[in-house]
Structures are given as structure tokens and as C-alpha cells.
Amino acid sequence: MLWFRLTRVCTCLTPFLLLLCSNAAATEHPIAHDGDRATLEAFKAAIVRRSGALASWNSSTSYCSWEGVTCGGHRHPWRVVSLRLDFQGLDGTISPAIGNLTFLRSLNLSYNSLQGEIPPSVGSLRRLQYLNLQSNLLIGAIPSNISRCASLRVMRLADNNGLTGSIPTEIGDMPLLRILYIANSSITGAIPLSLGNLSRLTVLALTNNYLEGSIPASIGNMVQLRILELYSNSLSGLLPSSLYNMSSLNELYVANNSLHGSLPDDLGTSLPSIQRLDMASNHFTGAVPSSIANLSSLQIFEIAKNKFRGVFPPVASLQYLQWFDIDLNEFETKDEKEWEFLTSLANCSRLQLLSIAWNRFTGKLPNSLANMSSNLRELRMFENGMVGDIPFGIGNLVGLETVDIIYNLLSGVIPESIGALTKLNRLFLENNNLSAELDASFNSLDGPIPSSIGNLGELLVLALSTNKLTGVIPKEIKNLSSLSIFLDLSYNLLEGPLPTEIGSLVQLENLAVSGNQLSGEIPHEISNCIVLEMIAMNGIKGLIQLYLSSNKLTGSIPGDLGNIGSLQELYLAHNNLSGPIPKLLGSSTSLLILDLSFNNLQGEVPTEGVFKNLTGLSITGNHELCGGIPQLHLPKCPNPTARKNDKTVSMPLRIAGVTIGAILVLISGLALALFLYRRYKAGMKKEQLPSHFTEIDIPIVSYNEILKGTDGFSEANLLGKGRYGTVYKSTIENQGVVAVKVFDLQQSGSYKSFQAECDALRRVRHRCLLKIMTCCSSINHQGQDFRALVFEFMPNGSLESWIHSSTETQNGDKTLTLAQRLDIAVDIVDALDYLHNSCQPSVIHCDLKLGNILLTEDMRARVGDFGIARILSEAASGPSANPSSTVRIRGSIGYIPPGNSSTLPVCFS
């Protein structure tokens, strides 16, 4: 009986006992694992800026509910298993206490501004499977004991430029590792042989570092590897044969190294899964094997800038091919059969880029070019020796956006079908023998420019110079409303007047029509081209140079040319212009060079402005001019009121005076020509440097020094891009760390930007202006002009990055104090006051904006980028100067210099 009662009591109490036990356990966990809370608080304490997720980290809530923190596990529900704080704008260091989160399986701190070293305590995270620290500011070496994270599957440390040292060999002891990213850093040394032990690795990315030596053959042991990225290092030697036997490999990138050797004959069978193959910019030689046709999955084939040679094999079976680039090699063709590879590419229906430039392709360009994929967007075939016509069927390639066939021997007419290429925005056909092209310069094209050219509504560049084009400029040119960069019709056999339809090209920046047989008057409608810089007329804003020499232009010189406030150089020589010289040309405060020689101009020569400067004025060959400054030695102009009563001067004396005057003008012209010739010859003996730098003692840096200092203009050293160039961080001997502005000379106006910046910087010296250290005016390894300026390095970047980031919560990692803002404002005012009031002559920046204000290490402002600066002449700074002649709407898109939009001192950027 007693036993029965005890049994009933126990049965009834069991639920209560279990409940008490569970409550006890529940209260025990947080007490037992307060270490995780303490670790998270230590992590937070090491963060300087705690915006975003860390704002929720406070003592009033459970740490397991903090943003970015995940607790879990069946047996340990109060232990932290995941910490995800990517894109939170964190600024500070990673606390060594992070190693105490021993149950952590995932750690993601990517895309922040974390500094300092990776703490070695990370090696204590034995359960860690995912580690992502990429895109921070971490420095130092990768800790070798990170290999103790034996469960790690993914390690992403890329985009930390301060990571140095070598890749720890111990990483090879992480058998479960599948993805390893250590790209875009400063890692040195060789690729460890031990990485070959990572048999489960699928992605290995070591791109854009300073790795040296050869690629280890042990990489071939990575039987599951799909992506191998090793480009932009200093690797040398041969590609190991084991690499060609990786049947799982989908993508291989080894470009921009110093690798050499040749491709194996069985390439097409040894890499059956390859989709992207990039071997550009190395020293590979030999022929491309015919087995390449077996790479049936190939999408990208990039082998440009090597020394491959021979005949390229047919590739008809590459149905997925999208990118085919074999530029700058030594491939050749001599007959139709050797062009078979191009014909076979017509079967590649997905092809978007076809680039075979800078090779030795000769012979007739096959008509099969017209059978290429309608998806083809870029066609680059320049710098070869191709002959024949442009295939009529090229109009079938309706997807084309860029066609570049310059420097060949093509001939014939430009096919009418080219008008069907409505997406075309760049057409280069110069230096051929074509007759009616879009960009056919330096060919032998002939015949008229087809009227169907008007159908190319997306065209940005039309370059047809140095051919044998005949006929008139078609009126359909008015339909090229998008034409903005360049219209070059120079040095052909074009006739007739410059059509009034030119005025419809309101976005055109550069127009070249010299060296033709144009006749008639200059159309006033050209004044509608309000952004024209190189050639324009009548009230054009922004025009700097106007070249119309050596044509058959007639009529008078439009007086409105003098109202172009920015016009500095005007060339109208060797035409049939008549009438008086407009006095408005003498009123121009910007005009520096005026060449009116060898026309039929009559009347009085003005005495103001450019007409006072003998070195910038040429009026030789106009025998009916008179007056002007005494140094011109022209005959005096007759007084109109006294002419009727002037009976005292005999005809012989008048003839003698005119004769003597003509002789003096001729002597003056010859002297001027001799002076200019000697100055030109003297300039040819010097390196092509701006004259500004010959006036001051600045050590000139070479192209090779800049190339080396920027690591081949690596993306890792990219600081920013602008309209006229790109700025890189560089290290130059005897200069240290500097900023190098490399000018894009293909961009319209870049030469003028370089000259303007040189001219401005040689005139100014002030602590609040960006200091120029040296310059480079040379040629690159492709024989092209190269221009660069070297400035002091500004470690804190531009004011724009601070102002904008301070208003963006997700990336709010930069904040300016009130004192710093005041200092910066004072520095900017000091710089502008110096430029406007202390420089002789004054300098107007024309593009002052946040991006052009740089910050020193101690957060003081430096005003830079004088690419479109305006040097005001003394006349322009006088009290009687016409403001419209010196102030123009210039600068960046979206920016209006103060005073141009209104009289209020407000600017927008």
C-alpha cells in the first residue's frame, strides 16, 4: 500500500520536477556563457564608428537579438554561431577577443573600413566554416595559424590593399577549403606548393598581387577546381603541363604576367570544360593548335598582346563564343584559304567582339565578313595590310556599335548598306583608299559619301580623312544628331560648299575639313553647334581653334567671329576670302593667333588685340591691305573725306609707295617665316614637352617609371577617373608616393586640358593649391603619345568623398568636424583669392567642385585639376573688359561656374 502511494506521488510530481529542471537550465545558459556577450562588447569597443547595426547593441536586450548576431544550436542555444556585419560602415579594428566565439561558424565583416591586422586569435575558431573580410583596409600578413580553422570552407580576404607578406604555406592544411580569394592586395612571394593539397578547392583567386616565380605544378592536383584567377601578377616561366589536364576547369585567367611557352597540340581535348580563357599580355609564342575547335563550351578567347604566329585555324564549332580577341600578335594570311578562320567565325552566332588588329593579315578582306552574327557589337581590324572593298553586306551586321579598320589598304566605295547600321556610334576607316566612309582615314577610299550615312543615328565619331572621297558633303549629315566627338573629312577631294546642315550637329565638338576643294561661303548656321571646340563660326561658345586653311572659301570673313569669347587660334589662310578684316577680330581679348595670309582681303588692318602682336599675326599675300601698326610697314590708308581734293600726290609717287610697301610686307613676311621655321627646328630637337616646363627646373619622369610605379596602371592603384584622364597612385624613385594623372589622348580636348593645366600650374604657387612635382610627355610601348602630370599624393582623397559619405547612413564612415569644415572653407577661399587677385595674369579655375578639392593628411584643402583653367589676359582684367569675352559656361557637366548662371554668388556641384 505504501509502495502504491509513493508511486502515485512520484508520478504526480514528475512534471513539476522536470519543469523546475528546465527552468534551472534555462537560467544557467546565459550565466554560463556571458563570455560571448563580453566578446561582442569587446568587438564593439574596438569599432570607432558604430553606426548602423551596432546601434542596437545595448545592455537592455539579449545579445542574441542584436543585429547581425545569430545564436543557435540544439545543445547550445545561447552560443553565437554567426556574426554578419557587412556593408555597415564600420571603422576601427577587429578585436582579438573575436577568437573567444568558439562556436562561431560564419564571420562576415566585408565591405567596411576596418583597419589593422587580422588577429591571430581567428585561428581559435575551430568550428568556423565561412570567413569573409574582403573590401576593408586591413594590413599586415595573413596569420599562419588561420590553418587551425580546420572546418573552413570559404576564405575571402580580397580587396585589402594593405595585406602584405606571402601566402602562408599552412593554408594547404585546410582539407575542406573550397573557395580561396586573396585578390587585389599586396601579397608577395611565390604561390605555395602546398596549395596543391586543397583537393576540394573549386575557386582560387590570387589576382592583382605581386606574386613571383612560376605556377606550381601541384595546382593540377586540385581535381575539382573550376575557376583559376592569377592575372596581373609578376609570374614567369611556363604554364605547368598539369594545368592543361584539369578537366573540371571552366575559367582560366593568367593575363598580365610574364609567362611564356606555347600551347599544347591537344589543348582542345585536355580542357574540355573551359569556357573563359584569358592569356593576354604575356610572352607566349608558337601557333594556336587546330584542336582549339574542340573547345565547344568556349565563350571568351583572349590572347592579345603575345607573340603567337602563323595561320589561325578554323573555329566553326565554337557555337557559344562571344569574345574573340587576338590583337597584337603575329598571325598572318596570304591567300583566301588562310582567311578561313574568319569565315568560320560566321557560325558563332553569339559573337559580340571580333578583334584581329595589329597582326599581319594581308590579302583581300573576305566577303564572309558580312555573314557574321547580328549580335556582333565591336569589329576591330586596324593596323593590318588588308586590301579590297568593304563587303557590301556589312549592313547585315545590325548590332554593330564600333567599326575600326584604320591603317589598311582597303579601296573602293563605302557601301550604301552601311546606313542600316543604326546602332553604330564609332566608325574608323582612316588611312585607307576608300571613297565614301565613316571612319576610313588613311585608306584609299574613293567616290562620294553615301547619302545613307544619314541613317546612322547613333554615330558619335565619323572619321574619313586622308582618302580620295569626291563629290559634295551630303545634306543627310544633318540626321547624325548624336555625332558629338569628331567629324573628320579632311584631306580628301570633296567639293562644293560646306552645307548649312552642319548647323544641325549641335553636339559636335570637333570638325575638320581642311585639305579639300570646298568652295562658297562659310554657313552662318554653324553657329548652332554650341559645343564645337575645334572648328566653328558665329557666336560659338567654347571654340578654341578654327582651321579652315587651304580650301576655296569665298566671300567676306563673318564679323561675328570676334564675338567668340574663347577663340584663341583662327586659321583662314590660302582661300579666296575678300572684303575688309572685321574690326571685331581686334576687339577679341582671347585671340592669340590669326592667319589670314594669301587671300584677297582689302582695306584697313585693325590695330587692337591680336593685330598688335606680330608673332601671332600673318597677313602676307593680301596686296590691298593698308594701315595697321607701323611694324607691318603697310601703306597708309587714304582719307575718304580728302580723297576728292587730293590733287597733290602724283600717280608715280603712289605707285612707288605701294611698291615699297609691298616689298616691306614681303620682307617682313619672309623674316617672320624664317623666325617661325628656326623656332620650329629648334623645338624639334627637344623632347616633346610643354614650353611651360622649359621655363622652370622640374625633373622629368619617364613613361617606364610611371608604368612601373603604377604596376602597369593596375586597377588596384586607381584613384579616380575624369573626362580627360585617369588618376593613379604611384611610387616614383626620389619622389615617394605620388598621384599620377594620365591623360586619355583619345578623348576630345585632352591635349588642350594637358596644356591648360601645365600653363596654369607654372603660373601659380600657393600652399592651398595642389603641388605639381613633375610631368611626362613621351610615347608608350605602342608608339602612341603619352602625357601625364605628377602631383603630391593626398591620402584623404577628395572633399566629395567626405561630404557625400557623411550623408549616407549605409556608408557613413567619414565625418568632418566643424573645425575641419571651417579650415577647409578658409583654404578654398585663400586659393581662389590668390588665383583671382594675386596671379598676374589672373587665373579662373572654371571647374571648382567637391571632386577637385583634395585633402591632406592633416585635413587641409588643396585645390587641383586646372584642366580647363582660363588664363585672363591683361586686357581682359581691365576695367573696360567685356565680361562676355572672358567668362564662358565651362566645366563639368552639371556644374555652372559662379556668376555665369546669374548675378548671385551661388554655385551648384
Mean pLDDT, to the nearest integer, of 6-22? 45
542, pLDDT greater than 60: no
CB 464 within 8 A of CB 449: yes
674, pLDDT greater than 60: no
In the prediction, which pLDDT does 535 show?
Answer: 59
20, pLDDT greater than 50: no
Give pLDDT tens digits for 847-885. 788 888 889 888 899 988 765 455 554 333 343 333 332
* Percent of the chain surpassing pLDDT 70: 76
All three cell numbers of 12: 504526480
Amino acid at 876: A
| Contact residues for 751 (Cβ-Cβ < 8 A; gap 6+) | 743, 745, 787
Cα separation, 183 vs 850, in Å, equals: 31
Cα separation, 359 vs 328, in Å, equals: 6
| Distance (Å) of CA 838 to CA 293, 842, 849, 852, 887 | 69, 7, 21, 21, 19
Mean pLDDT, to the nearest integer, of 93-106? 96
DSSP string, 467-517: SEEESBPPGGGGG-TT--SEEE--SS--EEPPPGGGGG-TT---EE--SSE
Mean pLDDT, to the nearest integer, of 702-718? 84
Give pLDDT tens digits for 423-450. 887 777 776 665 433 444 445 566 788 8
Question: Which span out of 534-548, 603-617, 680-694 was modeled with the highest average pLDDT?
Answer: 603-617
φ and ψ of 403, to 5 deg: -130, 120
In the prediction, which pLDDT does 650 show?
Answer: 47
Give pLDDT tens digits for 843-857. 777 778 888 888 988
416, pLDDT greater than 80: no
643 compared with 433, residue with greater pLDDT: 433
In the prediction, which pLDDT does 558 show?
Answer: 78
CB 809 within 8 A of CB 85: no
Query: Which among 567, 620, 625 is positioned nearest to 595, based on CA atoms?
Result: 620
* 898 half-sphere exposure, CB direction, 13 A CA radius: 10
CB 587 within 8 A of CB 560: no
In the prediction, which pLDDT does 8 show?
Answer: 52
In the prediction, which pLDDT does 654 show?
Answer: 55
For the chain, which domains are there? Answer: 691-792 (3.30.200.20), 799-886 (1.10.510.10)
Q: pTM surpassing 0.75?
A: no
Q: What is the mean pLDDT of the chain?
A: 79
Q: Using the 8-state DSSP alphabet, how is residue 702 labeled?
A: P
Give pLDDT tens digits for 249-306. 999 999 999 999 999 999 999 999 999 999 999 999 999 999 999 999 999 999 999 9
CB 775 within 8 A of CB 700: yes
In the prediction, which pLDDT does 573 show?
Answer: 87
CB 530 within 8 A of CB 553: no
All three cell numbers of 779: 610615347
Task: Give the active site residue among 389, 847, 858, 865.
Answer: 847
CA triple 62-67-72, angle to 5 deg = 60
Q: How many residues does the chain have?
A: 909
Residue 376 pLDDT level (bands cut at 50, 70, 90): very high
CB crowding 784-817: b at 16 or more within 10 Å, else e: eebbbbbbbbbeeebbbbbbebeeeeebbbbebe
Q: Which of 124-138, 265-279, 508-522 has the lowest mean pLDDT?
A: 508-522
11 compared with 216, residue with greater pLDDT: 216
The strand pair at 385-388 and 378-380 is best described as unpaired
In the prediction, which pLDDT does 309 show?
Answer: 97
Residue 565 pLDDT level (bands cut at 50, 70, 90): low
Cα separation, 459 vs 231, in Å, equals: 35
Mean pLDDT, to the nearest integer, of 655-668? 55
- For residue 721, say whether it is annotated as part of any ligand binding site: no
Give, to the nearest 10 degrees, the angle between helix 2-32 and helix 34-45: 10
In the prediction, which pLDDT does 869 show?
Answer: 53
182, pLDDT greater than 70: yes
Residue 764 pLDDT level (bands cut at 50, 70, 90): low
Give pLDDT tens digits for 294-321. 999 999 999 999 999 999 999 989 999 9
Q: Which of 16-25, 193-202, 211-220, 341-350 has the lowest mean pLDDT?
A: 16-25
Q: Would you tell me how many other CB atoms lie within 10 Å of the CB of residue 174? A: 24
Active-site residue, 389 included:
no
In the prediction, which pLDDT does 552 show?
Answer: 66
